[in-house]
Structure 1
Amino acid sequence: MVLIFLRSLIFNVVFYLNTVLWCVIGLPTYLMPRGGIIWVAKTWSKTSVWLFTLICNVKVEYRGLDRIPEGPLLVASKHQSAWETFALMPFFDEPLFILKRELTRIPFFGWYLVKAQMIALNRKAGGRALLEMMRRARDEVRRGRQLIIFPEGTRRPVGAPPDYKVGVSQIYVSCGVTCLPVALNSGLFWPRHRFLRYPGTLVVEFLEPIPAGLARDEFTARVSSVIETASNRFAQEGRDEQERLMGFSAS
């Protein structure tokens, strides 16, 4: 555990230093088209994932890369950790996120979110804000972007009962594009609300795309079923590996 603590400490310090570095490198992109800051964000993501694997003794295994469609897309991912909020970006040409408006007020980092034309949601504004968010999501996706959403809305502990929100089906119907489900077990290695980062094999799988045109209830049932089935399988694989490595499960 002492080694895990030391690795976690080093990684957390280096992760934030790396973030500051890329915020500085990205300054010229304020005068460039959106593609400039998207490139910076993807590069920051790649270096952050690399540092995580190097320092914390984590292997990342990507499965189903050949299933990623080109063009407009809705990406629905399991959400267990902060890891997937940045690690999925490099796999898509024009990644798009819906995020709370408060994040856009963070100096530099928040300004980059605005420059990248992410969708900021004012949670206090009620139904009108949700309608505007839905309209912007539809318009941006139909322009060719890939909207990455977390159907449960917030990070869920590994093994917690699923809690899929109705918003994901509304966005799916509104956008009218293919949905790519994503399963993972990141919460075993970068748990929410914890300082420690644990070793092992982090698995991400891009599952079979779900075509546009399904009814809301049918879509919700299908996307939740495939994501939960695969994520639960990966969680068990990860627990078994951690027990072999350390004699305990990080979940």
Structure 2
Amino acid sequence: MSRVEPDRGAPRGSLVRGILFRAGLVVTVVIWATLSIPSFPLPLRWRYWWITRWCHIVSFMLRTIGGIRLQVRGLENLPNEPGVMLAKHQSAWETLNLLPFFYPQSWVLKRELLKIPVFGWGLARLDPIAIDRSAGREALRQVIRQGKKRLAQGHWVVIFPEGTRVDPGQRGRYQQGGALLACQAGVDVTPVAHNAGEHWPRRGARLIPGTITLEIGPAIPTTDRTPAAVNRDVEAWIESTMERLTDPRYRDC
């Protein structure tokens, strides 16, 4: 399968798919968040299971409305115990669709997201690591402090080291916060690469039908290593894998 360029030559139907999909997102998140309110007083594991069923609804809509399928490689690399997962950040896709492979998980996210009516209420009940990104070093201390707590609870901590979404073929600066957390907590890092941005672009309303390839890398150890060294290994693996994922010769290998 050849590479699909989101911004050039996309079929007209992809815009219709995108509009229908986003309408479905709005309708289902309002319905599911409302249905989830009675679960808020329940223990975390119960309310977590119920609230995150919405992610499965999103996945279903992507397949049926968006014509977007998923191919997964590297499942044999999944560790037996939760740790820190560092992933490429291209799209909204990875914030919702990594859950089946890294369950349960706590995202590092902007505190402002918790203020969104309805959606933010449910998100807050999943115990994310909500930080004030303008707080500088204090934001990093929040990640370390809350991240250790979530790891002790048996949650994966999901961090996008580039900090913000980047277009396919682009690379952001890999920040060391995730590697620092892993080193201080004494857990491995699992790197993740994917090409979701080619099918669910970060800009515009289009969805581009095709196959998202998700690749889970071998665990990167942190014992007796510096965060900088761990971060370099993470960036090297993710970016080299991204080159392969976007090369048409390797799409179906």
- In the superposition, the TM-score normalised over structure 2's length comes to 0.88
1:49 equivalent to 2:68? Answer: no
SS in 1 for 2:246: helix
Equivalence for 1:237: 248
State the AA in 2 paired with 1:179: V
Higher helix share: 1
Instruction: Note the C-alpha offset of 1:59.
Output: 1.6
Instruction: Note the C-alpha offset of 1:96.
Output: 0.5
After TM superposition, the structure 1 stretch with the greater mean CA deviation from structure 2, 180-189 or 127-136, is: 127-136
1:21 equivalent to 2:23? Answer: no
* Structure 1 unmatched runs, 5+: 242-251
1:157 to 167, 175, 179: 167
RMSD: 2.0
1:217 to 228, 235, 242: 228
Equivalence for 2:197: 187
Identity %: 32
Aligned partners of 2:89 and 2:166 also within 8 Å? yes
State the AA in 2 paired with 1:236: D
What does 1:164-183 correspond to in 2, within 5 Å?
A: 164-183=174-193
Aligned partners of 1:201 and 1:238 also within 8 Å? no
Instruction: Note the C-alpha offset of 1:137.
Output: 0.8
Equivalence for 2:72: 62
1:110 to 112, 117, 120: 120
The C-alpha deviation readout for 1:76-99, integer Å capped at 9, x for no partner, is 111100000111112233211111
Taking the aligned partners of 1:220 and 1:125, their CA distance within structure 2 comes to 22
1:97 equivalent to 2:107? Answer: yes
- If asked which structure has higher relative contact order (CA below 8 Å, sep 6+), I would say 2
Aligned partners of 1:72 and 1:143 also within 8 Å? no
Taking the aligned partners of 1:211 and 1:113, their CA distance within structure 2 comes to 30
Q: Cα distance 1:142–1:31, how it changes in 2: closer, same or farther (>3 A)?
A: closer
Aligned partners of 2:48 and 2:125 also within 8 Å? no
Equivalence for 2:133: 123
Taking the aligned partners of 1:80 and 1:205, their CA distance within structure 2 comes to 14
Aligned partners of 2:87 and 2:159 also within 8 Å? yes
- In the superposition, the TM-score normalised over structure 1's length comes to 0.89
Taking the aligned partners of 2:139 and 2:177, their CA distance within structure 1 comes to 13
Taking the aligned partners of 2:53 and 2:229, their CA distance within structure 1 comes to 37
SS in 2 for 1:91: coil
Instruction: Note the C-alpha offset of 1:162.
Output: 4.0
Aligned partners of 1:188 and 1:235 also within 8 Å? no
**How many residues align structurally?**
241
The C-alpha deviation readout for 1:171-200, integer Å capped at 9, x for no partner, is 222222011110100010011122101011
* Structure 2 unmatched runs, 5+: 1-10
The C-alpha deviation readout for 1:27-63, integer Å capped at 9, x for no partner, is 1111211123321343111110121111111121111
Taking the aligned partners of 2:220 and 2:242, their CA distance within structure 1 comes to 17
Aligned partners of 2:179 and 2:189 also within 8 Å? no
